[in-house]
Amino acid sequence: MIYIPLIERRKLAADFISLYEHLIRLPNSFLLESSLMIDGIGRYSFLGADPFLIFRSKNHCIQLISNQKCVTLSGNPFSKLKELLNTYRIEESNLQFPFCGGAAGFFSYDLGRILEKLPSLADDDLNLPDMCLGFYDLIIMMDHFTQEVYIISTGLPETDPDRAYKHAEKRLRDICNVPIKYLPQMDECPEKRMKGISSGRRLTWDTVFGAYKPGNTDANKMSCHFDKDSYCKNVQKAKEYIRKGDLYQVNLSQRFSLPLTMEPWTLYRRLRSINPAPMAAYLNFGSIQVISASPERFLKVAGRQVETRPIKGTRPRGKDISMDQCLRDELWNSKKDRAELVMIIDLERNDLGRVCEIGSVQPQELFRLDEYATVFHLSSIITGKLPEDKNVVDLLRAAFPGGSITGAPKIRAMEIIEELEPVKRGIYTGAIGYLSFNGNADLNIAIRTIIIKDGQAYFQTGGGIVADSDPLAEYRETLDKALALMVALGLGGKPGHERL
């Protein structure tokens, strides 16, 4: 069955995230937001709620939840996901929207165990799903170029054409009558309370602790699995593996946790104000919320065209324009960071080449420097073309998890990560985004991401270790990457930072 969606176009009278607040209490709502334009990323944002199907998996156990009924299956979750996407295929030929309804949610880093035989040494203390995806028959899309909103209703999961059309009409009518016609302005949004920090301002440790008045979060209540010395020792262990020839590079991370002292949605709004990102996300999946301000695109599929944008190389923002320029130049001219990125480019080209047409995988931009509120990043753009008989699930199988957050060679790097990191990564360095019923997809790398579960906030940061890595510098890089997350969570005061 091929579905043709109904589409309503509107002009938006308020900001897009205010629109999401009308849906936030509906079951399994999501927001995929581009709150920062980076060349080629950031034109569209999407939101949705109340999916007709929830797809969850853990190892080879699959749960399909619909109409408050749960069916449990055993098998390969990628195979089942591909089957479902084929079942609900959309024919969308008149308007080339990137996302016309489909699956939205997250893929855990640990889903890699389905694809490769890996040791299981780290503690799975959070016990998160490997996959958690809602299948959404209706989504709302914002085009930031035209400032227009499109409401796209598919009529799914009805299979009879007449019934599907009537269902799509009803869903479209219901949603249009509530949030689009009436968009109240918020009396005071968190962005207005940020005490001088805005998306247009560089963010450094000094400017944060000079301008920001923290909330009631106590830095002494924050815990992490490494202190400075133990993290540096693990960097040395990783370097020893590199010296022995096991691998060229490995990504080593540390996880932080602390009690959450605000509503998860308030935290998202604070984070987007401090650190706008081109591939941000808010997932409200019942017992867990996922808050992401990711700068990195993992995989995009548009028709048969594929793109990935690996990041390798980071510098913090400077105190002023002059220091900013010095740090930009330092990163741009860093032989170490360029060498790291080239390794990952080769890895990503190999991953894409497993499913893309022969000869189609090419670096479109070998080195580029991107600017964010707290850091500069060195990145690359690699593209390819899928053959007619392959789709986004085949691409995921070939490329997951992303090479920029594992290392090279990928499998050996993942084995060493499992040995050196005490807890399983879960969503961190997995992927968040959508798989559209029309075959398109856009997924981030789940970095700069906070997981909320049982009143605790968890977040993780890391960096690539190579033969000449300085352990203390690598440790400091994890803190630079954590800066925006810590501030959004209400941590303030330099002593808390120095304690780490």
pLDDT, position 209: 42
- Per-residue pLDDT tens for 266-312? 999 999 998 899 999 999 999 999 999 999 999 999 999 999 999 99
pLDDT, position 2: 58
What residue spans define the domains of the chain? Answer: 6-182+191-499
pLDDT, position 190: 37
CA 379 – CA 260 distance, rounded (Å): 33
pLDDT, position 18: 84
Write out the catalytic residue numbers. Answer: 296, 312
Residue 192, strand partner residues: none
Check whether domain 6-182+191-499 has CATH 3.10.100.10, yes or no: no
**Tokens for 400?**
């997951």
CA 337 to chain centre: 23
* Nearest of 147, 149, 129, 130 to residue 139 by alpha carbon: 149
- Per-residue pLDDT tens for 457-474? 999 999 999 999 999 999
pLDDT, position 175: 80
Tell me the pairing of strands 6-11 and 29-33: unpaired
Angle made by CA atoms 89, 95, 97, in degrees to the nearest 5 = 65
pLDDT, position 93: 54
Helices (H), 99-204: 112-115, 161-175
- Per-residue pLDDT tens for 417-434? 999 999 999 999 999 999
What is the helix, strand, coil percentage profile of the chain, to 5?
30, 30, 35
* Nearest of 128, 129, 59, 121 to residue 421 by alpha carbon: 121
pLDDT, position 267: 97
Angle made by CA atoms 427, 479, 210, in degrees to the nearest 5 = 125
CA 438 – CA 202 distance, rounded (Å): 39
Q: Is the dihedral of CA 278, 190, 175, 289 positive or negative?
A: positive
| Residue 149 vs residues 7, 139, 211, 264: alpha-carbon distances, Å | 10, 10, 36, 25
Residue 271, classified by CB atoms within 10 Å of its CB into exposed (0-12), middle (13-18) or buried (19+), is buried
Give this prediction's pTM.
0.90
pLDDT, position 23: 84
pLDDT, position 95: 57
Could you tell me if 255 and 224 are in contact, meaning their C-beta atoms sit under 8 angstroms apart? yes
pLDDT, position 195: 35
pLDDT, position 42: 84
CA 368 – CA 381 distance, rounded (Å): 8
CA 37 – CA 142 distance, rounded (Å): 14
Mean pLDDT (the chain) is 88
Residues 6+ apart with CB under 8 A from 222: 256, 257, 258, 491, 496
**Tokens for 141?**
């899309």
pLDDT, position 191: 39
Q: In the 8-state DSSP scheme, what is residue 25? A: T
Q: Which residues of the chain have pLDDT under 70?
A: 1-3, 13-14, 92-95, 178-220, 492-500
Could you tell me if 109 and 253 are in contact, meaning their C-beta atoms sit under 8 angstroms apart? no
CA 485 – CA 270 distance, rounded (Å): 9
- Which pairs count as long-range contacts for 262-270, CB under 8 Å and 24+ apart, including other chains? 262/215, 262/490, 264/289, 264/291, 264/452, 265/21, 265/24, 266/190, 267/291, 267/450, 267/452, 267/457, 267/488, 267/489, 268/31, 269/17, 269/189, 269/190, 269/191, 270/190, 270/191, 270/194, 270/487, 270/488
